[in-house]
Chains A and B, each alone.
Chain A
Amino acid sequence: MLQRTEGIVLKTNLFGEADLIVTYITKDYGIIKTFAKSPRKVKSKFGSSLEPLTHSKISFWGKEDSSLPRLVQSDIVYPFHSLRSSLGCFLKVSEILELTLNFLPERDANNRVYSLLLNTLRAMEMDCRTELLLLFYKLKLLDFAGYLPMLNSCGRCGRKGNIFYLSSGTVLCNRCAKDSAPSKSLSPAVISLWMNLLGWDMNKLGRIKPAEKILQELTALIDEHVKYITERTLRTRTF
């Protein structure tokens, strides 16, 4: 059965002599892996449309539940080429792609994450130096995927608290914490930034400039949380 959708290339893996396994996040099917025949040959019909970050309209052939359908067509909608042509930008974008791959299951459409990724790539094309955008993406992705840590109140009973417990993935009040080992005491500024980032639209990000220290503190906390959940350091972080 021929299926059509639009998607963004997250990753490619070499397969055989000139073939590729292309991992997409798609609008209608979530994350899918497809098999592309001979795109590495000079005169391939796919051209540069299978490069990471390329937003394209794709058609693939296979049974509905096929684990590796065959990619038959890929027409570029927008290549996001400028994000690939700068090493610094590409490193930041790679972290976004790796997080997306880690937190979304295959074949489970999530339109909110798809739109979030597309809008984040568009925003990064304008300015990829901002750390705030990267943090914004991480928080929203964790929220949409169901792994967002609760920072403004106790994650179990809703009472006030400001001590974060890594093993529980949330702030806990004194009563709920009991024997848990606390990981970090959070400042009101960090909690406020967390709440604002979750409440804001992406287009409002440019208007605010949080203190560097607060931004780093929240980023470090979220990175620790991600590491605890995935049980490993992100590969992009080892670069």
Chain B
Amino acid sequence: MPGIIENLVNELTRLPGIGRKTAQRLAFFILSMPEAEALSLAKAIQTVKEKARFCSRCFNITEKEICEICSDNSRDKSKVVVVEEPSNILVMERVKSFRCLYHVLLGALSPIDGITPEKLKIRELIDRVKHNGIQEIIIATNPNTKGEITAQYINELLRPLGVTVSRIAYGLPMGSDIEFADEVTLGKALEGRREL
């Protein structure tokens, strides 16, 4: 394989979920693309690396000082959903019926990995609650051990501030069978049951 193609394949294999075979397929597809389209792809990668930054309020990815979600006046600004990563916002935004603000922690607490509260955007969240008239914080960290202890830690800090702190519900995914659920998930689903 020519050196330049080999180089492109090697670069593409750095991407998540891309193995060598897929990288080769992509490399040859890029080679067959019209020059303008290929350069547009390269330019998009360059621009995103040059211009992408964190929103100074919520730490979502943006190209401006304040992201589009924080600048949107039609949103309910009394509620803030706390997530671990900016990519979580994309998923949350698919729920069209719930339009509020977000706060990205940029990770989750993990004592064994040395991820302490100082390494996350927790202090910034507390400052937002203190100064921006927020009434409810909805903690939507991942439903695993790291996400749980992060939620507990934030709850302990926020409770004295008089703000409502809620956690997204636990339970079984839609479309699944109870038969295949494990005891912890099922236990959480039973604990979080609600009256019909």
Contact = CB atoms under 8 A, between A and B. Distances in A.
Interface stretch (B43-51, B74-82, B93-101, B109-117): B109-117
Contacts of A76: 182-184
Which of B112, B145, B148, B156 has the most A CB atoms < 10 Å from its CB? B112
B181 interface: yes
Interface residues of A, number: 30
Interface string B35-49: 000000000000000
Interface in A22-66: 42-43, 45, 47-49, 51-53
B28 interface: no
A38 to B, nearest CB: 11
Given A16-B16, A42-B173, A235-B112, A90 B183 contact: no
A235 to B, nearest CB: 4
Interface in A184-219: none
A150 B74 CA distance: 69
Contacts of B113: 235
A221 interface: no
B145 A51 contact: yes
Contact of A97 (B112, B148, B156, B184): B112
Nearest to B156: A87
Chain B residues touching A, range: 20 to 34
B64 to A, nearest CB: 29
Contact of A235 (B111, B145, B173): B111
B176 interface: yes
Contacts of A87: 149, 152-153, 156
Interface stretch (A77-85, A107-115, A123-131, A158-166): A77-85
Contacts of B144: 48, 51
A62 B149 CA distance: 34
A239 B116 contact: yes
Contact of A45 (B145, B148, B180, B185): B180
A98 B145 contact: no
Contact of B148 (A43, A53, A84): A84
Interface centre among A45, A90, A91, A238, by most chain B C-beta atoms within 10 angstroms, is A90
Interface of B: 16-17, 109, 111-114, 116, 144-145, 148-149, 152-153, 156, 173, 175-176, 180-185, 187
18 contacts: A43-B173, A43-B175, A47-B185, A49-B182, A51-B144, A51-B145, A51-B184, A52-B145, A76-B183, A81-B184, A87-B149, A87-B152, A87-B153, A94-B111, A97-B112, A235-B113, A236-B111, A238-B116
